[in-house]
Amino acid sequence: DKPFTVIGIETSCDDTSVGIVDSSGKILGEYKVSQWNLHKVHNGIVPTIASKAHKEVIDQVVEGALENASMKIEDVDVIAVTVGPGMAHSLEVGVKKASQLAIKYKKPFCSVNHLEGHSLVARLNQPHIEFPFFTILISGGHTQLLICHGVSNYTLLGTTCDDSIGEALDKAARIIDCRFGEVFDGEKIISNIHGGQAIEILAEKGNPSIYPFNVPMLNSGNCDFSFSGLKSELQRRVGKIKQTNTADERPLTLQEQQDFAASFQECAFKHLENKVTRALNWYYNKPMGSKKTKAAIAKKNKLKEQDEQQQPETIEKAPLKGIVVSGGVAQNQKLRKQLESISKKFRLPLYFPPTSLCTDNGTMIAWAGVEMYRNKMTSNPETVFYIPVWP
Ligand code: KG4
Ligand code: ZN
């Protein structure tokens, strides 16, 4: 139970980020170098450019975090690093640096799953969040519904069959003419933001009922997601509008952008809400709520049967202590409000990490290191390897 400190290194995607925390959850120092400007001209993240950029700044980022914490690496007790999932050669940079440090300074070493970083970081400043909790993990790479039974102990209830929710929002932003990393809100250009944020900003002034979309997989009988059909439908409708009345394509008007953003966002979030409700209903053995017509009852029974077939059978269903929503998309204020009704319905408190810790950061990796080290989950830095695909 002696207090200890952990440095966390994160290079799985396009940010080189390091955080140092202590075991009480205090953030001692952070440093991040973002690659926005490098990828902007390519209209998306280029893996070779990302890994090269990580290599160039990794030493500086580690030093920067230590300096901000007024510490030397010798003072840090544990070294943690994202080993996967993520882009292979980007992961490699962080893993190499972390293992070198652990070997040289003879420090305990924790291999962190990036998703576990997202999931556990809510406990950094909210230590009262107890296991087991329900996790809604919504980021650029993943859309997962999980039961977190404890550190490194999860049951996956639902995942996406194609794009993640963040990816869908990023693509939607591009389809409705936002430049990569930018949005024009009618008054000014806001830069260095993800597509999901651009959609959120545009949606605030849009009307979601102008271009209603069908919510995907309503009768799928499982807790999985699909966003690619929704994206194609957006593409089709935007294409049609751009072609009207002129021989050449025209850009969307601001109002059209706002209405499309609002409609798309509403549908994506409704899809998420439906599946979260479904997963929680299954967990608590509740029937799906719907009107009590004969057809509805028959449908409900059928869905219940499918639920039972498709979900893992042998998990221990201890009472849940709450719902943790994390990953980049969890920054969305509209979604945060929407999930409150589910929280009320199931009488489960809703927890979010602070918005600055929702998106990729080294601090969440350091915190996962704290939780892992407490549970004696260390590994050998001599033999560690990065895991780009980590089912
Ligand atoms: O967790 P994250 O930083 O990186 C991954 O691990 O993927 O998540 C990035 C994702 C992007 O797809 C981005 O569009 C989305 O999070 N995102 C948002 C918002 N801010 C970031 N989505 C919706 N609303 C936001 N405010
Ligand atoms: Zn992430």
Residue nearest ligand 1's atom 14 by CA? 196
The rounded distance, in Å, linking the Cα atoms of 328 and 182 is 16
- Residue to substitute in 90, 167, 359 for testing ligand 1 pocket (most ligand atoms within 8 angstroms of CB): 359
Q: Which ligand is nearest to the CA of 365?
A: 2
Residues 248-269, mean pLDDT to the nearest whole number: 95
pLDDT band at 245 (very low <50, low <70, confident <90, very high): low
Q: Indicate the domain borders of the chain.
A: 5-121+354-374, 135-351
Tens of pLDDT along 127-154? 999 999 999 999 998 999 999 999 999 9
Q: Which of 3.40.50.300, 3.30.420.40, 3.40.50.1980, 3.40.50.980 is the CATH number of 5-121+354-374?
A: 3.30.420.40
Residues 20-58: pLDDT tens digits?
A: 999 999 999 999 999 888 888 887 788 899 999 999 999
Question: Which stretches within the chain are classed as H helix?
Answer: 36-40, 47-68, 88-104, 114-120, 122-125, 165-175, 195-203, 228-243, 254-283, 294-310, 333-345, 355-358, 362-374
**Which pLDDT belongs to residue 40?**
81
Pocket test for ligand 1, best of 139, 144, 333 (most atoms within 8 A of CB): 139
Burial of 251 by CB count in 10 Å (0-12 exposed, 13-18 middle, 19+ buried)?
Answer: exposed
Q: Whose CA is nearest to atom 21 of ligand 1?
A: 328
Ligand nearest to the CA of 359: 1
In the reported structure, the alpha carbon of residue 2 is separated from the centroid of ligand 1 by a whole-number distance in angstroms of 36
**How far is ligand 2, taken at its centre, from the CA of residue 386, in Å?**
16
Kindly give the number of the ligand 1 atom that is closest to the alpha carbon of 170.
14
Distance 329 CA to ligand 2 centre (A): 10
Q: How many separate helices (H) and strands (E) can be counted in the chain?
A: 13, 12
Ligand approaching nearest to the C-alpha of 143: 1
Q: Is the pLDDT of residue 387 over 80?
A: yes
> Which residue, 317, 343, 289, 287, is CA-closest to 136?
343
pLDDT digit string (tens) for 314-365? 677 899 999 999 999 999 999 999 999 999 999 999 999 999 999 999 999 9
391 preceded by cis ω (within 30°)?
A: no
User: Could you tell me the distance, in angstroms and rounded to a whole number, from the CA of residue 54 to the centre of ligand 2?
Assistant: 16
Q: What is the pLDDT of residue 196?
A: 97
Mean pLDDT of 79-86: 97
Average pLDDT, integer, range 99-103: 98
Is the whole-model pTM more than 0.95?
no
Task: Indicate if the pLDDT at residue 302 is higher than 80.
Answer: no
Q: Is the pLDDT of residue 310 over 70?
A: no
Q: Please tell me the predicted confidence (pLDDT) of residue 201.
A: 98
| Percent of the chain predicted with pLDDT > 70 | 92
CB atoms within 10 A of CB 321: 17
Least confident of 65-74, 133-142, 193-202, 313-322: 313-322
Q: Give me ligand 1 centre to Cα 138, in Å.
A: 8
DSSP 233-288: HHHHHHHHHHHTTSSS--PPPHHHHHHHHHHHHHHHHHHHHHHHHHHHHHHTTPPP
Residue 366 phi, psi dihedral angles, 5° rounding:
-60, -45
Residue 200, pLDDT score: 98
pLDDT at residue 77, as a whole number: 98
SS3 176: coil
Smallest-distance ligand from the CA of 112: 2
CATH architecture of 135-351: 2-Layer Sandwich (3.30)
- Residue 167 Cα to ligand 1 midpoint, Å, equals 8
Torsional sign, CA 390, 163, 141, 303: negative
The reply to whether 5-121+354-374 and 135-351 are identical in fold is: yes
Q: Quick one: which atom of ligand 1 is closest to the CA of 118?
A: 1
DSSP 215: P
Q: Is the ipTM of this complex over 0.85?
A: yes
pLDDT at 180: 86
Ligand 1 environment, Cβ below 6 A = 13, 139-141, 166-167, 169-170, 194-197, 200, 327-329, 331-332, 359-360
Which of residues 100 and 290 earns the better pLDDT score? 100
**203 Cα–ligand 1 center, Å:** 16
| Cα–Cα–Cα angle for 46, 10, 367, rounded to 5 degrees | 150
Q: What pLDDT score was predicted for residue 290?
A: 45
Ligand 1 atom 16: the closest Cα is on which residue? 328
